[in-house]
Amino acid sequence: MIVISVISTKGGVGKTTLSANLGSILADFGYRVLLIDADIQPSLSKYFPLVKLAKNGLTNMIETGIIDDDCISRVDIKLVSGVLDIVRSDSPDGSLNNFLISQVDRGFRMSKAINCPYVSDNYDVVIIDTQGSVGALLDAAILASTHLLSPVVPETISAREFVTGTIDLMKRFEMFSTMGIKIPVVKAVLYRQDRTTDAKTIGNYIRNAYFELSGRAEVLNTVVPQRKAYTEAATRQIPVHHHDNVRTGQSACASEVMHELIYELFPNLTGLTAGGVNHE
Ligand SMILES: Nc1ncnc2c1ncn2[C@@H]1O[C@H](COP(=O)(O)OP(=O)(O)OP(=O)(O)O)[C@@H](O)[C@H]1O
Ligand SMILES: [Mg+2]
């Protein structure tokens, strides 16, 4: 089971947009994808239209440590072959974070739920959207993950915050290594690059902080630019690789960028295209 948490110690960088677009393109590659909205502000839960609204969501999943049919809502977008479902966030007052903090096994509740047979029988990939600040839900998501993906806006202040924030975050998990629990390397994706910033310089800055990050983070080659296609797709409630899949001019369309990201994260998919997409 692949479990990707989209994390950042900074708010508003693009976690929800990336989670939604990553989940939908993986579904179009034929995977059965389960999104988990682990942000108490339920942005991912509202990103796509839903065709089946489950009576339960994240609260029940965390309280019981189980995911079952009653927690699963279905996303209503046209897919060629895969599945895209979601466990909705349903604790806007934050009481779930408080509940989790009071549990002895708080770090492992999410992992327990994701590793239950219902999930392994019905899904190939789980994508967890997290909140942009430290908290019990973020900790639980990190401990449940096989992959950590972190969008970083390529400007100096954000890059510095990424380095210090990631070091602080990962230090909190060091004790787990003595328990044999391996925390995945944080893969930074330079995200929302505008035409005035130099992603290479910022990427190099983060790479040069490697000593400080001491193998806890690396920078992906794929850069996701700042483009209105991403906000337009969000407004239309469709995946960006459906909305912007024809190259006009020199720069890659959003679908090409999302494919590049997929190939870098999952090299075994290189050369394949998400169902229904044709870049010719
Ligand atoms: N590549 C992009 N180009 C332009 N705008 C983008 C891009 N990706 C996301 N956005 C816009 O940036 C804003 C913030 O994105 P998003 O809500 O995904 O961030 P977030 O990290 O989930 O925020 P929060 O920390 O509040 O949960 C949104 O308005 C979104 O439409
Ligand atoms: Mg968000």
Share of the chain above pLDDT 90, in %: 69
More confident site: 94 or 148: 148
Which of 110, 112, 160, 163 lies closest to 135 in space, CA to CA? 110
- Whether 47 is in the pocket of ligand 1, judged by its Cβ within 6 Å, is no
Does the beta carbon of 254 sit less than 6 angstroms from any atom of ligand 1? no
pLDDT at 190 over 80: yes
Ligand 1 centroid, distance to 83 Cα (angstroms): 24
Bridge partner residues of 125 (DSSP): 2, 33
Mean pLDDT across the stretch 256-266?
97
Separation CA 66–CA 115 (nearest Å): 9
What contacts 190, CB < 8 A, 6 or more positions away? 152, 153, 154, 199, 202, 203, 219, 220, 222, 223, 224
Provide DSSP, 57-75: -HHHHHHHS---GGG-EEE
> Can you tell me the mean pLDDT for 106-111?
95
Is the pLDDT at 63 greater than 80, yes or no?
A: yes
At 193, the pLDDT band (50, 70, 90 cuts) reads confident
Is the per-residue pLDDT at 100 higher than 70?
yes
Say if ligand 1 is within 6 A of residue 243 CB: no
Residue 213 pLDDT > 90: no
> Region 227-256: what's the mean pLDDT?
94
**Better-scored residue on pLDDT, 113 or 165:** 113
Q: Please, which pLDDT band fits residue 179 given cuts at 50, 70 and 90?
A: confident
Q: Ligand 1 centre from 47 Cα, in Å? A: 11
pLDDT at 220: 93
Q: Among the bound ligands, name the one nearest to the CA of residue 44.
A: 2
Backbone angles phi, psi at 175, to 5 degrees: -60, -25
Tell me what the mean pLDDT of segment 217-231 comes to. Answer: 93
Position 275 scores a pLDDT of 85
132: Cβ below 6 Å to ligand 1?
yes
Instruction: Please choose from 7, 17, 131 the residue to mutate so as to test ligand 1's pocket, defined by most ligand atoms within 8 A of CB.
Output: 17
Considering only 91-105, 143-157, 202-216, 246-260, which range has the smallest mean pLDDT? 202-216
Mean pLDDT along residues 252-272: 96
Q: What are 34's two structure tokens?
A: 């389960």
Position 216 scores a pLDDT of: 84
Domains assigned to the chain: 2-269 (3.40.50.300)
Residue 276 has pLDDT above 70, yes or no: no
Q: What is the pLDDT of residues 7-50, one digit of tens each?
A: 998 889 999 999 999 999 999 999 999 999 999 999 999 999 99
- Cα distance between residue 80 and residue 12, in whole Å: 31
User: What is the pLDDT at residue 280?
Assistant: 63
**Summary mean pLDDT of the chain:** 92
Q: Of ligand 1's atoms, which has the minimum distance to the CA of residue 133?
A: 25
Inter-CA distances, 108 with 89, 113, 114, 139, 248, Å: 18, 9, 10, 9, 47
Question: 132-166 pLDDT, tens per residue?
Answer: 888 899 999 999 999 999 999 888 888 888 888 88
Q: Whose CA is nearest to atom 29 of ligand 1?
A: 231
| Over residues 55-63, mean pLDDT | 96
Ligand closest to 9 (CA) is 1
Atom of ligand 1 nearest to the CA of 41: 27
CB 131 within 8 A of CB 42: no
- Report the atom number in ligand 1 closest to the C-alpha of 10: 25
